[in-house]
């Protein structure tokens, strides 16, 4: 069974413009941990956003098919959040709430999980990702590294079946990056599909 399938994906920003993505194909199975590596401007972030159901933010033309856990995210992009965790390359733009704790409970609550359970989940993830000390901090006061860790934690709160991450290690120090990599590997070993988009290799 495939968790993520991209078939014959083409994309361009303008009707008369050149194709930025050309015939992209990708199949991801449960437990796969895949690195997509390339320079800035190669279309990695565009692919990541399209898989995550963020087509709504693009005015360009898309051809092809993208399925995540059986959901056609080009036709029903709003359903992607049910099964997929997404971390943007600019984590600060992804934070939507005043406090870190609010950010971590946002998706669980939107998916119908009650408040007490959502808070419990948030605290468990915060413990794993070493951000418990940030839970009551304003998201506007976070450093770039802290914002990255919060965005990563928020993506993990629903224990998604698939995760798409765009340069997730960019702002992390070595210790935080190491903790995150170990946790992601654990998720993959439990059957989650993970795609990491990066433009540099990290030691």
CB neighbourhood size of 8 (10 A)? 11
91 or 50: which carries more pLDDT confidence? 50
**Contact between residue 13 and residue 59 where contact means Cβ atoms under 8 Å apart:** yes
Give the predicted TM-score (pTM) of the model. 0.85
- Tens digits of residue pLDDT in 3-33: 999 999 999 988 888 999 999 999 999 999 9
**Given a cut of 60, is residue 201 above it in pLDDT?**
no
- CATH number of the domain at 4-198, please? 3.40.50.300
Report CA-CA distances (Å) from 64 to 6, 24, 74, 126: 8, 9, 9, 38
- Tens digits of residue pLDDT in 136-145: 999 999 998 8
| pLDDT value of position 100 | 98
**Given a cut of 90, is residue 129 above it in pLDDT?**
no
* Domain boundary assignment for the chain: 4-198
198 or 56: which carries more pLDDT confidence? 198
Q: Which two tokens stand for residue 22?
A: 């050309």
Average pLDDT over residues 98-123: 95
Average pLDDT over residues 170-192: 84
Report CA-CA distances (Å) from 51 to 8, 40, 43, 109, 142: 13, 18, 12, 23, 28
- Tally of residues, the chain: 203
| pLDDT value of position 54 | 86
Closest CA to 161 of 133, 195, 121: 195
**Contact between residue 172 and residue 120 where contact means Cβ atoms under 8 Å apart:** no
Report CA-CA distances (Å) from 63 to 4, 31, 72, 76, 146: 17, 28, 13, 15, 37
Q: What angle do CA 15, 86, 168 make, to 5 degrees?
A: 105
C-alpha to C-alpha distance for 42 and 135, rounded to whole angstroms = 36
DSSP state of 200: S
Beta bridge partners of residue 26, listed in sequence order:
6
**Contact between residue 4 and residue 28 where contact means Cβ atoms under 8 Å apart:** yes
């Amino acid at each position: 069974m495939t968790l993520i399938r991209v078939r014959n994906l083409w994309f361009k920003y303008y009707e008369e413009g050149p194709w930025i993505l050309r015939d992209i194909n990708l199949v991801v199975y449960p437990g796969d941990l895949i690195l997509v590596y390339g320079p800035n401007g190669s279309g990695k972030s565009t692919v990541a956003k399209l898989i995550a159901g963020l087509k709504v933010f693009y005015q360009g033309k898309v051809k092809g098919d993208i399925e995540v856990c059986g959901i056609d995210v080009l036709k029903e992009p709003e359903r992607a959040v049910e099964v997929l965790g997404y971390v943007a390359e600019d984590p600060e733009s992804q934070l939507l709430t005043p406090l870190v704790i609010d950010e971590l409970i946002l998706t669980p609550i939107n998916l119908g999980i009650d408040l007490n359970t959502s808070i419990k989940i948030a605290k468990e993830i915060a413990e794993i990702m070493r951000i418990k000390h940030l839970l009551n901090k304003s998201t506007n006061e976070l450093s770039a590294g802290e914002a990255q860790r919060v965005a990563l934690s928020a993506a993990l709160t629903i224990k998604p079946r698939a995760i798409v991450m765009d340069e997730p290690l960019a702002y992390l120090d070595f210790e935080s990056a190491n903790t995150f990599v170990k946790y992601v590997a654990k998720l993959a070993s439990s059957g989650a599909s993970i795609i990491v988009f990066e433009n540099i290799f990290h030691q």
